[in-house]
Amino acid sequence: MTFIDIPASLAWPAQLCGFSIAATWIASLVTGNVSQVDRLWTFLPTIYTGYYAFLPWFKQKQSFFLQPYTPKELGWNVATHYSPRALLMFGLVFIWMWRLSYNTWRRGLFSLNDEDYRWAVLRSTVSPVLFQVTNLVFIAGIQNVLLLLLGLPTRTAALQADRELAPSDYALAALALTLLAIEFTSDNQQFAFHAYKHAYLAKKNGKVDAKEYDASEHWPGSRLQWKPEDAERGFVTRGFWRYSRHPNFSCEQSFWWVISLFPLLSPGTPHLPSDSDFPPKHTLVKAIFTPNLWKPLFDNLYVALKPTFIHVLPAIALSALFYSSTLFTEGISAKKYPKAYRAYQKRVGMFAPISGTLYKVLVNRLFDSKQVRDETERLIWGQVSSVDKTE
C-alpha cells in the first residue's frame, strides 16, 4: 500500500521524478548553484517520452529502484505492441533534445560552475530563507514535475487503442520540424549576434588580442549583416528577432503544443471536442439567458472540455512558466537597456509576431508622430524604416 495512489502508467516516471527532485535539490545545496535542473532539462523530457514509446521493450517486473518496467496493469496489447504514433513523437522529441543540448553546450551551461544569471538576480532581491524555499519548491520541485508532464502526451498515444498513423500525424510532424528549424535558426542568430557584439566591443575598448568576428564560423541563416549600432544597442533585433522579442521561446512552446495535439487529433479517443459534445446552438443561447440553466450548462461544458484540458495541461503549464520567466527576464533587460528595450517592447511582440504588426497598424500610424516613429525605429534597428523615409 503506497501513501499516494499513483496510476500504473506513472509508477516508474514518478520514481525518476522524485529522485531527480531530491538529487537536484541536494546538489544545489552542496554546490551553492541552483541551475542543476537546467542541465537536466534537455534530457528528462526525452527520457519520459522514450519510456512510453518503448514500453514493449521493458520487463513487466521491476527488480530494483529506478529500473524502467512495464506494469502488467497496462494490458497485454500495450506491453507487446509498439505505438507508431508514440515512436514518431519520440523521434521529434529526440531531435528537440539534440537542438537544445547543442545550444546548451556551446553556451557553456553544462559546466557545473555555471548558473543562470536570473537566479543570481533573484538571490540578491529576496532573503536567503525565501530563496531556499523557492529553490526547493519551484526550481527543484515544480520544474522537475513539469518535465515529467511533457512526457504525458506520448503516454496517451502509447495507451490509445487505435494507434495507427493518420494524416494528422504527418501534418503535425511537419509542423513540429518547421518549428524546430525556426528555433534553431533563432538561437543561431542570437549566438552570432553576441559573438559579433563581444568582438566589436573588445576592439572598441582597445583589446588588440581579441578574436575577430568571422561570419563563416556560424550557421547559415545567422550570418546577418551586423552593424556597430547593433553591438552598441546590446540586444539582438535582426532576423527572426525583428518580428518577435523571443522567437526561440515562441517556437519552444509551440513545439510542445504540437506534441500535445498528436493523440488529440488522431482518429481514436481522446479527441478534441466536436459539435456532438455540446448542446445545440439554440439550446446554448437559451441557457445563457436562463439563470436556472446555468448550472446544467456549466456541467455539460465541463464534461466536454475536461478531457481536452487534461491532455493539454503540460503545454499550458509550460506556457505559464515561459510567460512568467520571460517577464522576469525582460524586467532585467529593461533595467539594463532602459530606453532601447522599452522601445523594442512597444514595437515588437513578446512571442507572437501578430502583436507587433497590430501595434504598427493601430498605434504607430494612428497615434505616434513621425518623430516618435523615427526614434523608435532608430533605437531598435539603428535606422529609419524605408516606409517612413518616404513620408
Q: Which of 98, 4, 85, 9 is nearest to 45 (CA)?
A: 98
Can you tell me which residue has the cell 519548491? 137
CB burial of 325-346 (b: ≥16 within 10 Å; e: otherwise) equals ebeebbeebeeebeebbebbeb
Name residues of the chain where pLDDT drops below 50: 1-3, 384-391
At residue 377, the pLDDT reads 82
At residue 173, the pLDDT reads 98
At residue 271, the pLDDT reads 73
Each residue's pLDDT tens digit, 107-116: 888 887 888 8
Q: Is this prediction's pTM over 0.85?
A: yes
Can you tell me which residue has the cell 504598427? 360
At residue 362, the pLDDT reads 63
At residue 389, the pLDDT reads 37
* Cβ atoms of residues 270 and 264 within 8 Å: yes
At residue 384, the pLDDT reads 42
